[in-house]
Structure 1
Amino acid sequence: MAEHLASIFGTEKDRVNCPFYFKIGACRHGDRCSRLHNRPTISPTILLSNMYQRPDMITPGVDPQGQPIDPRKIQEHFEDFYEDIYEELSKFGEIESLNVCDNLADHMIGNVYAQFREEDQAAAALQALQGRFYSGRPIIADFSPVTDFREATCRQYEENNCNRGGYCNFMHVKVIGRDLRRKLFGSYRKYRGHRSRSRSGSPRPRRDRDRDRHRDRDDNRDRNGRRPDRTDRDAGGRRKNGSPKRSHSRSRSRSPPPAREGSEERRARIEQWNREREEKP
């Protein structure tokens, strides 16, 4: 029985724990939900609830005075907000994903999810945000159970065919421009060899990875398509045509990043937290 309960934890078959809260960190029923919302006591992800307020919040594409807004102005307003939040949160550690919801439902509108590389970095950021304000509004921050944004994001929205619109119960993540993504997340790419799970975080386009792979392969070949061997080099390690030997020691010495917890490990930890909470007097 215990194995069965563990296998269905956080799924639609689980009649005890809320699957939406487990996957998205938010539930449309809130505290009135008939299922449990297991709030983590520690997590690499923090949620800033209803923080982003787009300029056309009342009517899409129209400002509060009823005047149409240029979509470029809306995107510029969003990216200014995104950069502000990133710069503030990055003071506490490396940010792996920073996602802002474009949903319209009350429990998800303007939600900001920041996933740090380490849980203690998220804890430091959460503590620093307590009691603070942004644009005259208090910041509501808490740990979030979301660790895999692939499960939380609406796939139909990514393909531009979600028929539920802004009231979808899965994340509609707003996308930042390529220039801003490179500016904020580009510095991390040379230190880590993995991709973020976020659409608006730091995923590296496949064409860039393929281009670099082909470039590295071409660097190891001469103009005739041959790989240079020792006979093509002099005693100083230089090729006979005068070009210096390229060093790839940096890429070889790069150690793979530690694997993040999967869903099963995360569920087991949450169950352990619940047991410890119940055992406390």
Structure 2
Amino acid sequence: MANYLASIFGTEQDKVNCSFYYKIGACRHGDRCSRKHVKPSYSQTILLPNLYQNPQYDPKNKMNPSQLQNHFDAFYEDFWCEMCKYGEIEEVVVCENNNDHLIGNVYARFKYEDSAQKACDALNSRCGEGCVRGGFCNFIHRKEPSDELDRELDLSTKKWLRQRGRDERSVTRSPSPEPTRKRF
């Protein structure tokens, strides 16, 4: 019996373990799947779900096929170079599917398992407390503007307020008495 169970593990005949999840690390049923989603302890491959935002599926997209390819090539090169920091890459696969469980998924297969583990650890630490949900996280992942833009906007706002006298604290005049505040 044990030999039989071992021979069907991760296949369509396995009624306990999800074959989709076993093969690709994603399942169209998600948490509602009736089968187990067994995450491997060690693997040469890491999955970064929903990482590639394909402009092809954006209804406002105005890119022609050449521009779409250039966009993808730039993403692919950037991702490859980033993963090379952790070890030798054997393959990168970016899903072009538009299914909820596959859209934007990126797989990186390293030559060695320890390289994949280094990449996983480093990438998880970028999101604070080990968050791997990215854009689908329920907590805020704040994106900061560049320091230059932040400074420029701050100075422009102060100048605009001073010119229009909208903010008493920004205008250099004699201080006016504090307004009384009503309680509701």
In structure 2, C-alpha distance between the alignment counterparts of 1:113 and 1:56, rounded to whole Å: 20
C-alpha deviations, 1:65-97, integer Å up to 9, x for none? xxx421010010011111111111101110001
Alignment partner, residue 23 of structure 1:
23
**Inter-partner Cα distance in structure 1 for 2:126 and 2:31:** 24
Residue 48 of structure 2 aligns with which residue?
48
SS in 2 for 1:56: helix
1:122-133 correspondence runs (5 A): 122-132=116-126
Q: Look up the match of 1:235.
A: none
One-letter amino acid of the counterpart of residue 79, structure 2: I
Shift of 1:58: 2.9
The aligned residue for residue 80 of structure 2 is 86
Match of 1:77 among 62, 71, 82: 71
TM-fit CA distance, 1:56: 2.6
Q: What do residues 220-246 of structure 1 show as CA deviations (whole Å, max 9, x unaligned)?
A: xxxxxxxxxxxxxxxxxxxxxxxxxxx
Q: CA deviation at 1:131?
A: 4.0
**Which amino acid counterpart does residue 116 of structure 2 have in structure 1?**
A
Per-residue CA deviation, residues 113-163 of structure 1 (Å, 9 max, x unaligned), is 000000000000111101436xxxx8548xxxxxxxxxxxxxxxxxxxxxx
Structure 1: 5+ residue stretches without partners:
142-281
Tell me the residue number matched to 1:116: 110
How far apart, CA to CA, are the structure 1 residues paired with 2:133 and 2:93?
A: 16
Instruction: Tell me which amino acid in the other structure corresponds to 1:10.
Output: G
Q: Give the whole-Å Cα distance in 2 for the aligned partners of 1:101 and 1:139.
A: 18
TM alignment of 1:40-189, pairs within 5 A = 40-59=40-59, 63=61, 68-132=62-126, 140=133
d(CA) in 2 for partners of 1:4, 1:41: 23
The aligned residue for residue 33 of structure 1 is: 33
Q: Distance in 2 between matches of 1:140 and 1:96?
A: 25
Distance 2:115 2:25 in 1: 19
Q: 1-side partners of 2:121 and 2:106: how far apart? A: 16
Q: For the residues of structure 1 that align with 2:57 and 2:79, how far apart are their CA atoms?
A: 19
Letter in 2 for 1:94: E
Counterpart residue identity of residue 52, structure 2: Y
User: How high is the sequence identity, in percent, across the aligned residues?
Assistant: 56
Distance 2:27 2:64 in 1: 32
Contact 1:131 1:139 in 2 (8 A): no
TM-score, length-scaled by structure 1: 0.45
CA RMSD of aligned residues (A): 1.7
Indicate the residue corresponding to 1:5 in structure 2. 5
Kindly name which structure, 1 or 2, has the bigger radius of gyration based on alpha carbons. Answer: 2
TM-score w.r.t. the length of structure 2 is: 0.67
